[in-house]
Amino acid sequence: MELTTIWFVLIAVLWIGYFVLEGFDYGVGALLPVLGRDTADGSVTGETRRRQMLGAIGPFWDGNEVWLLTAGGATFAAFPHWYATLFSGFYLPLLLILVALIVRGIGLEYRGKVDSTRWRRRMDLMVVAGSAVPALLWGVAFTNIVRGVPIDAEMEYVGGFWNLLNPVALLGGLVTLTLFLTHGALFVALKTDGQLRHDARALGLRLGVVAAALAVAWLWIVHASTGTAVSWVLAGLAAVALLAGLAAARAGREGWAFTGTFATIGLATASLFVALFPDVMPSSLDPAWSLTVENAASSQKTLGIMTVVAVVFTPVVLLYQSWTYWTFRRRISGHHIPTEVHPAAVTEETRRRVGAS
């Protein structure tokens, strides 16, 4: 196998890793206002439920973003022409995704810095927006990449922003959004306990039905024009995995349900890359102007050096992230959330103790 093909496969693996891991982060963040409500009997506050949800992704979300950084860096080094055309043509949507990720990070990191309900609500809005926007725009971007965009003979994108917001691409955005919401709901069901667990599982089932209907239509449209036998098989397996995951959720098997959505996202992403190969960005103007793994690649020397680095460091990263998930594998219940302590109460308690002494 040639080095260009190896690096195309490695970049595909990085994107698969990003979507299956960061996907549940997006889903959990976007579902904060839906699942993070007071229980009907008032026994558990919405704040406690939101802290359970954020505690579930707390050890993982920033590590999951490393997959995106690595995928971008690998694309820049291995396929510089692909990187240049992609980031110039998709500049605005990629900028929106970057801003959303920054906003989400601020919301997650600073939510607990101020003891104020209004402050936490604002941070929650930042987390919701910073999760939903990338979940939608990644589907739009990848649909356009696979189906082809206006690229001229100079490897330059000659379309506009509105060219990217075509009906099929918007359908792709809805697919990734609903899939990630389903993935996130089932992750909450897997990682929490109590009423939140049951509510998340029920919501995941409802969202999964919508995601399945949208995904079947989207995969059919995309693969009808660019698909191969292998990509069709992978798309079919993705559909089967989603149905199996929903069946497991209905039976109360959250682990298998989450595994089902995990496999669905991974197989669907793999099917897109298989349908794309050997192109990396097809031209809708002339197939001869498409960027391929050959004309968009770096030199063989560069690819050889990168391969050595990848062989050395990839196992280290995988071992570290696997250790993280194993360490924080326990469920988070409401009693794990510490009771809120207000500064005024602390001051009064301190005065009482000082007076007693």
Q: Give the tokens for residue 42.
A: 């008032």
The chain-wide mean pLDDT, for the chain, equals 89
* 204-223 confidence digits (pLDDT tens): 999 999 999 999 999 899 88
- pLDDT reading at 77 higher than 70: yes
Residue 272: per-residue pLDDT: 94
Greater pLDDT, 265 or 349: 265
Of all residues in the chain, what percent carry a pLDDT higher than 90? 69
**Mean pLDDT score, 213-235:** 90
* 321-336 confidence digits (pLDDT tens): 899 888 888 888 766 5
Residue 354: per-residue pLDDT: 42
Confidence of residue 351 (pLDDT cuts 50, 70, 90): very low
Instruction: With beta carbons less than 8 A apart as the criterion, state whether 19 and 138 touch.
Output: yes
Tell me the whole-structure pTM to 2 decimals. Answer: 0.90
- pLDDT reading at 41 higher than 90: no
**Mean pLDDT score, 265-293:** 93
* 144-197 confidence digits (pLDDT tens): 999 999 999 988 888 888 889 999 999 999 999 999 999 999 999 999 988 999
